[in-house]
Amino acid sequence: MSTDRTEAAPAAAFATPDWVKDAVFYQIFPDRFARSGRVPKAAHLQPWGERPHPHRYQGGDLLGVVERLDHLAALGVNAIYFCPVFQSASNHRYHTHDYYRVDPMLGGNEALRELIREAHARGMKVVLDGVFNHSSRGFFQFNDILENGEHSAYLDWFHVERFPLSPYDGARPANYKGWWDNRALPKFNTDTPAVREFLWDVGTYWIEQGVDGWRLDVPNEIDDDEFWREFRRRVKAVNPDAYIVGEIWHDASRWLSGDQFDAVMNYLFTRPCLAFFGARTIDQRMNEASGTGVVHPMDAPAFAERMSRVAQMYPEEITLAQLNLLDSHDTARFRTAVGGDETAFRLATIFQMTYVGAPCVYYGDEVGLAGGPDPDCRRAFPWDERTWDHVTLELTRRLAHARREHRVLSRGSFEVLTAFGETLAFRRVLDGRAAYVLLNADRARQVVYLAGLVPGTYTDVVSGETVRFGEHHTFSLEPRAGMVLVAQDV
């Protein structure tokens, strides 16, 4: 089950941003992470921490993030991916009004500038969400069509079918194309040169302002490879190290040839993790109700085979830059999707932090935040530390820092050593140095015998204990527990 990528695929003739390969990402839904007293608030906000409502705001902002950067630094995070931050009449801000203006409720453009400055001072990158497939009813050019009808100068910016348009009355046909027929999200006509230039300019403008990359929302729905090739050319001309990561839920080979995206959100990583670590407790109704769909349980051999294939799908440059997530703003949170099984989430976190590609922690997961399908997965961060799951928090910290301190965990090859029942062992190897990961998802203690090891003295990141072994060793694994063994520096 070895995944020696030098044999599996030819070396890529392109490069992905080097910093991504060593990154630990943290995804933030801005309205729900943290409030700052420095940002004026509207009066009719939902109380912080109340169960999320699809249309109400809880008032998180970007300066609130600035004031909590030390929490992220302590966690081991060195890159932040934000859900949309531009002006919008929705708490999730996928209904963009103005692509050049940060939402005033988030603190405006100056708040983003301060955030970039403070994040960069701590060695953290900042990646924004680019919603370029559709805008909103409040977007100026679409609003012009609503005001002026067939006389609007911007008819070719959208897919207008006939008049009159019906942007709000669901009993009447909308008469224009929206994202998945959602009339709140009119779809851009990206065949129009002015639209293409507008979106490319937005892409380069924010990179010029210091943003480190783009996460692209539903980019497959702009079914035009040349559009994305030109987007890449322009963004990379401003900053060759800018990260371009697409939201593609399936095989993304079409977009990962080095001329469009650097990587994708790796949902092909997410589902097997639910299937293996949550095999006995998975909540199928919860997953069916969210973007994940039905997840069939896996044993260790099936999981090992699947994750070995995932590690081989793309060239090494792509694989090392994949955004590996356990959950997101579009899915039920992992711990909720597995019936509240904290051991499943902790085991999955160990795997996420030691697998090939950049791990991405969804805000609040590290302290035990639960949540079902949208909008419940977008709960407010609970800043009362008395409510936190400190065991998971400390585990996440140890793993994130170990990944950044030991390049073998971020850049090493991936090779499964054994998989039986619900027990898995694999190693990462880089420049003759090895790290070993052993995971026991069983409810009973397991003994694992491994041969062909790199002898030495190792530290178990999970427990902090020292382990010494030669070329052959027998390991004892407690139920629902794991070990991450990294070589001690001599």
Residue-wise pLDDT for 127-176, tens only, equals: 999 999 999 999 999 999 999 999 999 999 999 999 999 999 999 999 99
The chain-wide mean pLDDT, for the chain, equals 96
Residues whose CB falls within 8 Å of the CB of residue 94, separated by 6 or more in sequence, listed in order: 83, 84, 88, 129, 131, 185, 217
Query: Residues near 260 by Cβ (< 8 Å), separated by ≥ 6?
Result: 225, 228, 229, 231, 232, 244, 246
- CA distance readout (Å), 106 to 28, 271, 308, 361: 13, 33, 41, 22
pLDDT at residue 6 greater than cutoff 90: no
Rounded distance between C-alpha atoms, residue 270 and residue 25, angstroms: 15
Which range among 26-35, 284-293, 419-428, 455-464 shows the weakest confidence by mean pLDDT? 284-293
Task: Give kind and range of the element (H or E) at residue 1.
Answer: none
Task: Provide mean pLDDT across the span 17-42.
Answer: 97
Give the tokens for residue 133.
Answer: 């497939």
Least trusted range by pLDDT, from 287-301, 351-365, 446-460: 287-301
How far is the C-alpha of 50 from the C-alpha of 233, rounded, in Å?
44
Closest CA to 326 of 363, 274, 368, 276: 274
Q: Under a CB-based contact definition with an 8 Å cutoff, are residues 87 and 97 in contact?
A: yes
Task: Work out the average pLDDT over 192-210.
Answer: 98
Q: What b/e string do you get for 98-130 counting C-beta neighbours within 10 Å, with b at 16 or more?
A: ebeebbebbbbbebbebbbebbeeeebbbbbbb
pLDDT tens readout for residues 77-107: 999 999 999 999 999 999 999 999 999 999 9
129 phi, psi to nearest 5 deg: -90, 125
Closest CA to 179 of 226, 217, 234, 123: 217
DSSP state at residue 187: B
Inter-residue contact 309 to 303 (CB < 8 Å): no
CA distances from 137 to 153, 166, 188, 222 (A): 16, 11, 12, 19
pLDDT tops 50 at residue 1: no
Residues 207-216, mean pLDDT to the nearest whole number? 98
* ∠ Cα 365 370 375 (to 5°): 105
Catalytic residues: 217, 247
* Residue 138 near residue 95, CB atoms below 8 Å: yes
Pairing of strands 358-362, 323-325: parallel
In tens, the pLDDT along 370-421 reads 999 999 999 999 999 999 999 999 999 999 999 999 999 999 999 999 999 9
* Whole-structure pTM value: 0.96
Question: Which residues, 6+ apart, have CB-to-CB distance to 400 below 8 Å?
Answer: 24, 75, 76, 77, 353, 359, 361
Q: Rounded CA gap, 163 and 156, in Å?
A: 14
Spatial neighbors of 51 by CB under 8 A, at least 6 apart, are 376, 379
Q: How confident is the model at residue 7 (pLDDT cuts 50, 70, 90)?
A: very low
Average pLDDT of the segment spanning 51-64: 98
Decide: 336 and 344 in contact? Cβ < 8 Å.
Answer: no
* Rounded Cα gap, residues 253 and 485, in angstroms: 33
Q: Give me the pLDDT at residue 8, please.
A: 38
Per-residue pLDDT at 293: 87
Q: Token pair of 420, please?
A: 């039986």
Q: Is the pLDDT of residue 278 over 70?
A: yes
Q: How far apart are CA 177 and CA 183, in angstroms?
A: 7
DSSP 3-state of 134: strand
Query: What does the pLDDT look like over 286-329, one tens digit per residue?
Result: 999 988 889 999 999 999 999 999 999 999 999 999 999 999 99
Is residue 20 within 8 Å of residue 325, measured between CB atoms? no
CA distances from 144 to 6, 8, 87, 96, 153 (A): 54, 53, 18, 15, 8
pLDDT band at 76 (very low <50, low <70, confident <90, very high): very high
The full set of domains in the chain, from first to last, is 9-409 (3.20.20.80), 412-487 (2.60.40.1180)
Share of the chain above pLDDT 70, in %: 97
- What pLDDT does residue 359 have? 98
Residue 2 confidence class, pLDDT cut points 50, 70, 90:
very low
- 176 - beta bridge partners? 160
Q: How confident is the model at residue 275 (pLDDT cuts 50, 70, 90)?
A: very high
State both tokens at 374.
């949208």
Question: What is residue 370's DSSP assignment?
Answer: -
Percent of the chain with pLDDT over 90: 95
User: What are the tokens at 459?
Assistant: 């530290």
8-state DSSP, 474: E
Q: 322, exposed or middle or buried, with CB in 10 Å at 0-12, 13-18, 19+?
A: buried
Q: What's the half-sphere exposure (Cβ side, CA atoms, 13 Å) at 3?
A: 27
